[in-house]
């Protein structure tokens, strides 16, 4: 092959790298094996990963939902997988059409007027919403529910620190829902997550009215919107969320999908990419990237955000998922989540030494208080074949001796029965 | 391109037409030509007080968004409402129908700091 391309040695291919740098390279020291041997070796290593064996009752923003095979097979088509950013609309009609459909579906799901073509993940989408609200109202202060997922809150803290924005925390009441009684006219926005980090569904009824002209930002669990009233119906100004629950695997934490929707009046303050629909010179429908003038590659320092892309393939997966299950399908998946979780929660509450931490309504996730050390319970569950999150996340939110449990549509009756047995100490 | 000789100008391509204690402000023919087809104009609220150099609003075309900076200290007393439905008026008539705001001047003497038509023309040919 070297002769075919007219190169003398393998080393000659790296001649562009300065010798002083090349000298610092160290060999990786990997043994030379056949593909078959390497595959077997990797499989053996992967087998040590408990996650592949344990049934997940994990939640906290990323859930074990079923991904229909139509999603994985369409999403891996080379036309989609290899497509780059659609800067040249004439040759990117497929990508742009998918983005437009995605935006439309997100608007329907959230009850909002416009949506962007997606951001990186739910956490940064929330942070971007805070930045946008501050651009619009300029008051320098935002009220934040304490019940946000910790990882969302940490990202928000980072953005707020960079933007000199102060965050005021709203604590939660015994039902697990956040309380609001801050003076509204000093705030650019109020941020609430529903269902929240405890799995409890926040009450959005009348909230918009109580916060004056501060923007209402709601971070929502998209799959739950198959059953819950959309935040748009409660007057939310910006709705964000983590789209992983819409046709994406847990994937050890990613890749993820940031959802972002808002009012049409705020289009020019919305970060990220927006696909638009128009007509060409022959009157045929075509798709383009709209509002690029607000993006950082054109507006620069005054841009709405420094994001210059979107989570296109993940957004496509969500679009295929929503299109294939449809409104009725989404409702029925959500209902199964609700039923499984409530069934399990009810049975756990009847076991001695366990009770539900909060009495607020919940969707598919809830917090259980344990008489035993929760991490000992967690170990017992793992030995019994089940995986739940460590308790320290709850401790950070002020809830001691507890575990958070999420139950999706994938959990079978046999799994739930065994979970109850293992939890109760009956192997 | 023509530059009305009774107007004043800034290096950021705004024009100022002094009307007593007020100043009508817009962007020049050069600016609208560089921007291209204008699709949206952000105007300030009436009553807004601005200092020279602060942002008054923005003019958005299909390819860029340009800030409109206040050339003088003052208070916004009028904004051109036709620009909401017809932002392209700035392209068609930048010095007349395409005006953007009227400021009540805090210090009319500041006008002397602005470029005159000859000065603006020199600025353009120099760049």
**Is it the case that residue A377 has pLDDT exceeding 90?**
yes
Same structural domain, A86 and A188: yes
Nearest CA in chain A to B64: A293
* pLDDT grade for A297, boundaries at 50, 70 and 90: confident
CATH number of the domain enclosing A283:
3.40.640.10
Residue A258's pLDDT is: 98
Among residues A277, A300, A321, the one where a domain terminates is A321
Residue A132 to chain B, least CA–CA distance (Å): 16
CATH number of the domain enclosing B35:
2.40.50.100
- pLDDT digit string (tens) for A205-264? 999 999 989 999 999 999 999 999 999 999 999 999 999 999 999 998 989 999 999 999
Low-confidence residues of chain B: pLDDT under 50:
none
Nearest CA in chain B to A298: B64
Residue B1's pLDDT is: 61
Q: What gap in Å lies between CA A96 and CA A296, rounded to an integer?
A: 20
Same structural domain, A335 and A268: no
Q: Which domain holds residue B84?
A: 8-101
- Least confident span in A85-99, A164-178, A194-208, B39-53: A85-99
**Is it the case that residue A49 has pLDDT exceeding 80?**
yes
Among residues A265, A294, A321, the one where a domain terminates is A321
Same structural domain, A214 and A127: yes
- CB < 8 Å & 24+ apart, contacts of A181-185: A182/A143, A184/A210, A184/A211, A184/A212, A184/A213, A184/A214, A185/A212, A185/A213, A185/A214
**Is it the case that residue A185 has pLDDT exceeding 70?**
no
Same structural domain, A330 and A307: no
Residue B21 to chain A, least CA–CA distance (Å): 31
Give strand pairing partners of A114. Answer: A262
Chain B residues close to A304, C-beta within 8 Å: none
**Under 8 Å between Cβ of A212 and A181:** no
**Under 8 Å between Cβ of A262 and A113:** yes
Q: Which of A270, A278, A299 to mutate to test the interface with B (most CBs of B within 10 A)?
A: A299
Chain B contact present for A294, CB below 8 A? yes
Helix (H, G, I), strand (E, B) or coil at B81: coil
**Beta strands B8-9; A238-242: pairing state:** unpaired
Question: Angle at Cα A343 formed by Cα A340 and Cα A347, nearest 5°?
Answer: 140
Residue contact B64–A294, C-beta within 8 A: no
Strands (DSSP E) along chain B, which ranges?
8-9, 14-19, 22-27, 38-42, 49-50, 55-61, 65-69, 74-79, 101-105
Q: Which 8-state DSSP code applies to residue A117?
A: S
Chain B contact present for A302, CB below 8 A? yes
Q: How many CA atoms lie within 13 A of B104 on its CB side?
A: 8
Same structural domain, A301 and A203: yes
Q: Which domain holds residue A61?
A: 53-67+326-423
Tokens of A52: 């592949």
Q: What percent of chain A has pLDDT over 90?
A: 82
Residue contact B40–A268, C-beta within 8 A: yes
**Under 8 Å between Cβ of A139 and A150:** no
Residue B86's pLDDT is: 97
Query: In this structure, is residue B1 part of a structural domain?
Result: no
Among residues A292, A321, A350, the one where a domain terminates is A321
Residue contact A294–B65, C-beta within 8 A: yes
Chain B contact present for A278, CB below 8 A? no
Chain A contact present for B28, CB below 8 A? no
Q: Which 8-state DSSP code applies to residue A302?
A: G
**Is it the case that residue A10 has pLDDT exceeding 60?**
yes
CATH number of the domain enclosing A387:
3.90.1150.10
Residue A90's pLDDT is: 86
Whole-prediction pTM: 0.89
Same structural domain, A177 and A302: yes
Residue A89 to chain B, least CA–CA distance (Å): 15
Question: How many residues does the structure list for chain A?
Answer: 427
Chain A contact present for B64, CB below 8 A? yes
* pLDDT grade for A427, boundaries at 50, 70 and 90: low
- Count the domains in chain A: 2
């Amino acid at each position: 092959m070297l002769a075919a391309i007219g190169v003398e040695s393998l080393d000659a291919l790296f001649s562009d790298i300065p010798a002083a740098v090349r000298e610092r390279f160290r060999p990786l020291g990997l043994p030379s094996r056949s593909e078959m041997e390497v595959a077997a070796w990797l499989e053996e290593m992967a087998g040590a990963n408990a996650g592949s064996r344990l049934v997940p009752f994990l939640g906290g923003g990323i859930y074990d939902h079923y991904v229909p095979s139509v999603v994985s097979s369409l999403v891996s088509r080379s036309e989609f997988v290899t497509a780059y950013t659609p800067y040249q609309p004439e040759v990117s009609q497929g990508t742009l059409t998918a983005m437009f459909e995605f935006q439309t579906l997100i608007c329907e799901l959230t009850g909002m007027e416009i949506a962007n073509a997606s951001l990186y993940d739910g956490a940064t989408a929330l942070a971007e919403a805070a930045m946008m609200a501050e651009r619009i109202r300029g008051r320098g202060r935002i009220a934040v529910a304490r019940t946000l997922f910790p990882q969302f809150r940490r990202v928000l803290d980072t953005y707020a620190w960079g933007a000199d924005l102060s965050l005021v925390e709203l604590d939660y009441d015994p039902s697990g829902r956040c309380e609001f009684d801050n003076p509204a006219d000093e705030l650019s926005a109020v941020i609430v997550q529903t269902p929240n980090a405890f799995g409890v569904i926040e009450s959005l009824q009348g909230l918009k009215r109580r916060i004056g002209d501060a923007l209402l930002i709601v971070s929502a669990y998209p799959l739950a919107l198959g059953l819950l009233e959309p935040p748009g119906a409660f007057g939310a100004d910006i709705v964000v969320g983590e789209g992983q629950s819409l046709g994406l695997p847990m994937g050890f934490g990613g890749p993820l999908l940031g959802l972002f929707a808002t009012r049409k009046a705020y289009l020019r303050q919305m970060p990220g990419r927006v696909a638009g629909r128009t007509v060409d010179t022959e009157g045929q429908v075509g798709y383009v990237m709209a509002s690029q003038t607000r993006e950082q590659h054109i507006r620069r320092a005054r841009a709405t955000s420094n994001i210059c892309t979107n989570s296109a393939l993940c957004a496509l997966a969500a679009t295929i998922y929503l299109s294939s299950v449809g409104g009725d399908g989404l409702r029925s998946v959500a209902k199964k989540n609700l039923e499984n979780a409530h069934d399990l929660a009810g049975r756990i509450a009847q076991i001695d030494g366990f009770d539900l931490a909060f009495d607020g309504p919940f969707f598919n996730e809830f917090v259980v208080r344990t008489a035993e050390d929760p991490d000992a319970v967690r170990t017992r569950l793992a030995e019994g074949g089940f995986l739940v999150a460590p308790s320290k996340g709850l401790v950070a939110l002020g809830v001691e001796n507890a575990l958070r449990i999420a139950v999706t549509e994938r959990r079978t009756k046999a799994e739930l029965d065994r979970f109850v047995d293992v939890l109760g100490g009956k192997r | 391109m023509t530059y009305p000789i009774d107007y004043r100008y800034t290096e950021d391509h705004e024009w100022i037409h002094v009307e007593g204690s007020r100043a009508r402000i817009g962007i020049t023919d050069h600016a609208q030509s560089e921007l291209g087809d204008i699709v949206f104009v952000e105007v300030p609220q009436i009553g807004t007080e601005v200092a020279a150099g602060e942002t008054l609003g923005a003019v958005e075309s299909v390819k860029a968004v340009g800030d409109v900076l206040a050339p003088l200290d003052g208070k916004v007393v009028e904004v051109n409402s036709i620009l909401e439905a017809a932002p392209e008026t700035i392209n068609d008539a930048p010095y007349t129908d395409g005006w953007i705001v009227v400021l009540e001047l805090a210090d009319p003497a500041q006008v002397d700091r602005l470029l005159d038509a000859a000065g603006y023309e020199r600025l353009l040919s120099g760049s």
